[in-house]
Structures are given as structure tokens and as C-alpha cells.
């Protein structure tokens, strides 16, 4: 199915003042965020750096299966609490996403 035919989903970027966007179902969370200026932090886009860790406040049931790359950065407890890596997670339904604030300069992360 092409992206144009895919059903639309609504993604809420909780940590970006609750910004809501519509996107084609089945896209990666990071790709949706970049395209729609959702604001999820990222660096590599390839599952290596761990920068894109974010949390499903709602809609975790619409996320793709956890990948091996995600397991390098997140624990089972974090998965259970809704944490995922945006560049490794594809969404096929509505979701609300938050992420940690950038650490203040001069303090440990």
C-alpha cells in the first residue's frame, strides 16, 4: 500500500506543547516527527545513539514490535512503561508521545 493510500493516524507530541499532527499509518515515529516538526530529539536515525528515546503516553498498542537495537538502549521495565526509540518504532494508529527534557548544560545527564 502506498503512503497516499494508507489510513491517517493522529500523533500527539506531548513534550512539544501537545502538538497534534496527522500522518500516514505505518511510518516510523521519528520520520513523522521530522516531517511534521514534532520535535522528538534524534541524532543518528539508525538505532545507534539512543537519543530518540521517547515514551508512549497512549497508543503503545499501535507500535511495532520491539527491535534488537532498542534492547541495547532500553530495559524491559522501560518497555513496560511505554519507552521506545522513535527511529525504530513504527506506528499504525493514534499515539501520544513524550520525551525527556534536554539536560541543562553543566549537569550530568
DSSP letter (8 states) at residue 5: T
**Size of residue set near ligand FES by CB under 6 A:** 12
**Among the residue ranges 16-24, 42-50, 74-82, 100-108, the one whose residues contact ligand FES (CB under 6 A):** 42-50
Is 63 a residue that touches ligand FES (CB under 6 A)? no
> Can you say whether the dihedral through the CA atoms of 76, 79, 84, 89 is positive or negative?
positive
Q: Supply the DSSP string of 15-66, one letter for each residue.
A: TTTTEEEEEETTEEHHHHHHHTT-----S-SSSSS-TTEEEEEE-GGGBPPP
48 binding ligand FES? (CB under 6 A): yes
Assess 45 for contact with ligand FES (CB under 6 A).
yes
72 binds ligand FES (CB under 6 A): no
Choice from 6, 21, 25, 49 touching ligand FES (CB under 6 A): 49
* Interacting residues with ligand FES (CB under 6 A): 42-45, 47-52, 85, 87
Amino acid at each position: 500500500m502506498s503512503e497516499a493510500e494508507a489510513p491517517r493516524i493522529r500523533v500527539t507530541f506531548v513534550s512539544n506543547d501537545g502538538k497534534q499532527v496527522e500522518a500516514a499509518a505505518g511510518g516510523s515515529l521519528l520520520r513523522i516527527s521530522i516531517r511534521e516538526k514534532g520535535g522528538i530529539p534524534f541524532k543518528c536515525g539508525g538505532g545507534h545513539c539512543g537519543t530518540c528515546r521517547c515514551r508512549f503516553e497512549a497508543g503503545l498498542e499501535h507500535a511495532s514490535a520491539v527491535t534488537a537495537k532498542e534492547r541495547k538502549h532500553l530495559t524491559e521495565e522501560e518497555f513496560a512503561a511505554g519507552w521506545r526509540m522513535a527511529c525504530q518504532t513504527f506506528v499504525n494508529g493514534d499515539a501520544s508521545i513524550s520525551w525527556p527534557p534536554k539536560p541543562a548544560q553543566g549537569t550530568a545527564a
